[in-house]
Amino acid sequence: MNNYNDYYNYFNNQLNDMNYMPNNYEMMQDMNYGNAFQNTFMMPTAQNQIIDSYQGFLRGNMFGDLYDPYKNYQPMELKAQTERESLLQQVQQLKFAMIDLDLYLDTHPNDREALNLFNSYRTQEKQLCEQFENKFGPLTLDSNALNANNWVWINGPWPWEVK
């Protein structure tokens, strides 16, 4: 392969061999990629074990089989100093789990276990956000805690004042 046309023809033939149809999502799901992409990357599959939200948050990955630690590195355990930090950490870990499962469900929309887990995390996250906002004020601009007569952002501690 010495020129552009050789590369173009090679990849075009590879795509034709794989029945590539970019405009048809159903066909793409059933596509057989063959050996060409076998070891290029690792996608989560139904065989991957989905771990709990806390461990997933520490590792940065909700799939136990896809976590590949660096040498002997162990993720640092998070220790909240206050109730505010504890609630915020729980909200963050559930949001992370929801995002990671959402990405997985984009490619595996029929995985009922993952979908049920996503919905469970979404319900828990909503409850924790409400609990946090009742005690410490709004988290986002669309929070119900902002339905007050005055601007409540000013009432809480500023980020540099939180200890």
Angle at 123 between CA 133 and CA 108, to 5 degrees: 135
* 114 and 75 within one domain: yes
State which residues form the domain around 66. Answer: 49-161
* 53 and 35 within one domain: no
Split into its structural domains, the chain has a count of: 2
Query: C-alpha distances in angstroms, 60 versus 64, 85, 93, 138?
Result: 10, 19, 10, 26
Structure tokens at 160: 């540099």
* 63 and 5 within one domain: no
Closest listed residue to residue 156, CA positions, set 80, 143, 94, 125: 143
Q: What is the pTM of this model?
A: 0.64
* 55 and 15 within one domain: no
Q: Using DSSP, state whether 79 is helix, strand or coil.
A: coil
d(C-alpha 65, C-alpha 61), whole Å:
10
* 137 and 85 within one domain: yes
- pLDDT of 76-104, one tens digit each? 888 888 999 999 999 999 999 999 999 99
* 94 and 18 within one domain: no
* 95 and 144 within one domain: yes
**For 63-71, what is the mean pLDDT?**
81
* 70 and 33 within one domain: no
* 67 and 24 within one domain: no
Structure tokens at 22: 């970019």
